[in-house]
């Protein structure tokens, strides 16, 4: 019913394209890839820190999308949140696999520190220290509050996308975010006061 020239595919909504992808339509898949591969790569690169690894993660995520296109459920969120959720999970898995292979710790703390900065300047050292302080403060939060904050600030997801990913009402996500940020602010203020 949507078949026609390439221009008609481009004008379709993501959800309509996913119906075609589920039926094996490669042209619809190309349009979905064109729309979402840029943000997907940005997220993978932010998490992995290496271009080649990020490209592998995105390729795996989109290959999975092609194979499982029929499992997309529009009632659970946007196509973009589905794609980015897959990329996020695969990027974290890739980091953990690589860390295990190299005999390193597989905890979330310090993953970003494994990739050397271009220059080891005072600014970079300060940025890394602030990052460590923030990570410690985040670890003090209840898991449900930490999860929504990490998805929003490190994963780049909106409240709506987080709600869809976690299968929670948007109000619950906003509430957890508000409580978590208040506790985070209080913890960071206390640490700053102790250093003063």
| Cβ atoms within 10 Å, residue 186 | 11
| pLDDT tens for each residue of 6-56 | 568 888 888 889 989 988 899 999 999 999 998 899 888 888 878 888 999
3.30.420.40, 3.30.470.20, 1.10.10.10, 1.20.950.20: which CATH number matches 120-196?
1.10.10.10
Quick: pLDDT tens for 139-163: 888 988 888 887 777 667 788 888 8
Please give the average per-residue pLDDT across 177-192, as a whole number. 86
- pTM of the shown model: 0.51
Q: What is the pLDDT of residues 95-140, one digit of tens each?
A: 777 766 665 444 444 444 444 444 455 666 676 677 777 778 888 8
Judge whether residue 175 has pLDDT over 80.
Answer: yes
Domain range list for the chain: 1-115, 120-196
Q: Read off the tokens for 107.
A: 């905890």
What percentage of the chain carries pLDDT values higher than 70?
Answer: 76
Burial of 123 (0-12, 13-18, 19+ CB in 10 A): exposed
Domain 120-196 in the same topology as domain 1-115:
no
The CATH code that applies to domain 1-115 is 1.10.1740.10
Distance of CA 173 to the CA centre of its chain: 16
Going by C-beta distance under 8 Å and a sequence separation of 6 or more, which residues neighbour residue 29?
Answer: 17, 21, 65, 66, 69
Of 134 and 181, more confident: 181
Per-residue confidence (pLDDT) for residue 31, from 0 to 100: 92
Q: Which residues of 32-59 are buried (b: 16+ CB within 10 A; e: fewer)?
A: bbebbbeebbebbbebbbeeebbebbbe
């Amino acid at each position: 019913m949507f078949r026609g020239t390439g221009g008609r595919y481009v004008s379709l909504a993501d959800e309509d394209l996913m119906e075609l992808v589920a039926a094996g339509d490669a042209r619809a898949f190309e349009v979905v890839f064109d729309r979402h591969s840029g943000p997907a790569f940005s997220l993978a690169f932010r998490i992995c820190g290496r271009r080649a690894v990020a490209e592998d993660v995105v390729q795996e995520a989109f290959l999975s999308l092609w194979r499982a296109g029929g499992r997309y459920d529009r009632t659970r969120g946007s196509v973009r949140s589905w794609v980015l959720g897959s990329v996020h999970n695969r990027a974290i898995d890739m980091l953990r696999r690589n860390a295990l292979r190299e005999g390193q710790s597989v905890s979330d703390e310090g993953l970003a520190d494994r990739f050397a900065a271009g220059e080891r300047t005072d600014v970079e050292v300060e940025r890394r220290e602030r990052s460590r302080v923030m990570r410690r403060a985040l670890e003090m939060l209840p898991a449900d509050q930490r999860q929504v904050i990490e998805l929003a600030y490190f994963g780049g997801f909106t409240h709506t996308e987080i709600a869809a990913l976690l299968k929670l009402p948007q109000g619950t996500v906003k509430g957890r975010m508000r409580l978590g940020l208040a506790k985070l602010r209080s913890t960071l203020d206390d640490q700053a006061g102790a250093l003063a």
